[in-house]
Chains A and B, each alone.
Chain A
Amino acid sequence: MTAVVELAGVSKWFGDTVALSDVSFALGAGVTGLLGHNGAGKSTALSLLAGFSRPSQGSVRVLGVDPHTDAGVNRGLGVVSDGEGTWAHASARSQVEFLARQRGVRDPRGAAANALARVGLAEAADRRVGGYSKGMRQRVKLAQALVHDPQVLLLDEPLNGLDPAQRRADVDLVAALGAEGRTVLVSSHVLAEVERMAGRVLVVVNGRLVAEGEPAGIRDLLVDRPRTLRLEGTRVAELAGLLLAEGLVVAVRSDPDGRGVVVETPRAVGLADAVPVLAQRAGATLRRVEPVGEDLESTFAHLVRAARGAGR
């Protein structure tokens, strides 16, 4: 793989706060997802790659140059940054055309029209962006990033503020951009969305790169781990007994709200495989199986522990 985008030993701190710690990765063509909870360091990594800020330590290269000092990189780089990022006083067409011209596009007017059509804003293009909905402004940002047909795209939470139909359309668009041979790095905190766009995922937790690989592998890593689950239905106590006997759970207790039983399992995937067979043997009918006391933070905390265990 030829590295088009590269972070080497990069750390970034703001006063006493470490936003990124010794992060290294290289990207070639295709879509890569940057997964992490809010505040994990995703936006900081994208900001460094976009040249918006300098690393406190380490080096950043995009298209072979330092994006912070070399403005020429913007001819081949498109960025959707987190936050507002549109000029409210201007129409979508004028600002996209302005950026096309300033990035050296030969036919800025035509390029702006194409980019706006590609994101579904052709009809509203001549209205002031200040009057747009959040979803429409998000699409203007995408058109700004695409207008000069860049080789590299950095997209920071590009699906924020979009309705479900728009999200689906933009997921397809990002996947298509990768299929065209561009290098696309797209951040999100939703694995399911990243899976649909990206062939590779980087997971950032508390400023550290803790996992990378194909989406399926990352999903296994996130799912197949110690979990606490509530089993609801008939004869679930008998089912829990069988699970305990098989060594698939390590603890069983009654749900305090009287909704079935709560079990603790060291490996969720093994439990999921065994439950249908054992439920049949116990004569149990399951109405619901759901995790207890989980949030994204705890999921990523598990990844941090796993990464430490693996010596990263």
Chain B
Amino acid sequence: MGTTLFGFSLRGILFRGRTAAFAALPLLVAVVAVVVIAVTSVAGRYGVQTTLTANLLTGLVVPIVALVLGIGAFGDERDSRTLPLLRGVARPRWHLVVARFAAAWVSTFVVVLPASLACMAVGISINLPAADVVGGILLATALTSAAYTGLFVLLSLLTRRGLLAGLAYVVLWETFLAGLAPALRGLSIGSYGRRVATLAIPGDVPVGTVATTGVVTSAVVLAGIAVGSVVLSSIRLQRMDVG
């Protein structure tokens, strides 16, 4: 697997010091969950489950980890001047993009898994249906990761300052501006992710942070963002100067 496009990409992403450093973020969520389960009553955990899943997992941990790993998919190649080498393979450029996107997506999913498991544990501990909790959180994590990763892979091909631009997007847009009006929420990946995550949350999350669309539509939108980003990234890689 190490010499396939996907395998080589996955190794490049997973065995970076930066990836290990950012793995601490989901672990922190897991520690918080363990403490909550240990010291809080079942009734008190309802609000915590919402905060953990909607705000921390899909609202912070997933976008930050996807930002670091998604930008790295091509950004690191640009920084180390190996992008010409990567593009010098005898494969259609979209193969490269799909492999890099898939590697970054899988890596993001794996890195945030401790936080996902923690949210599941809290959900199950308050007697929510286990299938809903596990399915909802896995689906929300997978789709939100895919959308963010795809967007950041595209960003890494559009600008050399992808990390900075992506951070500004996550901090300013996703966590602040998009929550100001319902129309803006339609342009927020996080709001669709939180809508899917409502499958695993008791009641609803605060209306200002969730997309107005249904769960299925939200899931389709997230998948569409991921696919669209991969398509645009492929066109960009085909046309751009790399050396």
Contact = CB atoms under 8 A, between A and B. Distances in A.
Interface of A: 47, 50-54, 69, 71-75, 77, 79, 81, 83-90, 94-95, 97-104, 108, 144
A99 B12 contact: no
B16 A54 contact: no
Interface of B: 2-5, 8, 11-12, 15-16, 80-82, 84-85, 87-93, 238, 241-243
A69 B238 contact: yes
Contacts of B15: 89
Contact of B8 (A52, A83, A98): A98
Contacts of A99: 85, 88-89
Interface of B is mostly: loop
Query: Which one of A50, A53, A86, A102 has the greatest number of beta carbons of chain B within 10 Å?
Result: A102
Nearest to A96: B3
A70 to B, nearest CB: 10
Given A98-B2, A98-B8, A47 B91 contact: no
Q: What are the nearest 6 A-B pairs in CB distance?
A: A52-B243, A102-B89, A53-B241, A47-B243, A74-B90, A98-B3
Contacts of B238: 69
Nearest to A99: B89
B90 A72 contact: yes
Given A71-B91, A75-B90, A84 B11 contact: no
Given A47-B243, A79-B88, A98-B8, 16 more contacts: A47-B84, A51-B88, A71-B89, A71-B90, A71-B91, A79-B84, A84-B80, A84-B82, A86-B85, A89-B11, A90-B11, A94-B8, A95-B8, A98-B2, A100-B3, A102-B3
Contacts of B84: 47, 50, 52, 79, 81, 85
A90 B243 CA distance: 22
Contacts of A50: 84, 88, 243
Nearest to A98: B3
A88 to B, nearest CB: 7
Contacts of A88: 80
Nearest to B80: A84
Contact of B5 (A71, A90, A102, A104): A102
Looking at A52, A53, A72, A77, the one whose CB has the most chain B CB atoms below 10 A away is A52
B92 to A, nearest CB: 6
A239 B78 CA distance: 60
Contacts of B92: 71
22 contacts: A50-B84, A51-B88, A52-B242, A53-B241, A71-B90, A71-B91, A71-B93, A77-B88, A81-B85, A87-B12, A87-B85, A88-B80, A89-B12, A94-B2, A97-B3, A99-B88, A99-B89, A100-B3, A101-B4, A102-B3, A102-B90, A103-B90
A98 B8 CA distance: 8
Contact of B90 (A47, A83, A85, A104): A104
Contacts of A53: 241-243
Contact of A94 (B3, B80, B87, B242): B3
Contacts of A85: 81-82, 84-85
A124 B223 CA distance: 44
Contacts of A104: 90
A84 B81 contact: yes
B72 to A, nearest CB: 11
Contacts of A83: 81
Contact of A74 (B4, B12, B88, B243): B88
A79 B81 CA distance: 13
A53 B239 CA distance: 9
Contacts of A73: 90
A126 to B, nearest CB: 12
- Which of B93, B238, B241, B243 has most chain A Cβ within 10 Å? B243
A87 B82 contact: yes
B95 to A, nearest CB: 9
Contacts of A87: 12, 80, 82, 85
B31 to A, nearest CB: 29
A88 B15 CA distance: 11
Nearest to A46: B243
B38 to A, nearest CB: 39
A120 B12 CA distance: 26
Contacts of A81: 81, 84-85, 243
B48 to A, nearest CB: 39
Contacts of B93: 71
Contacts of A71: 87, 89-93
Contact of B87 (A52, A86, A90): A52
Contacts of A94: 2-3, 8
Nearest to B13: A89
B98 to A, nearest CB: 14
A263 to B, nearest CB: 46
B242 to A, nearest CB: 5
A90 B168 CA distance: 32
A74 B89 contact: yes
Contacts of B90: 71-75, 102-104
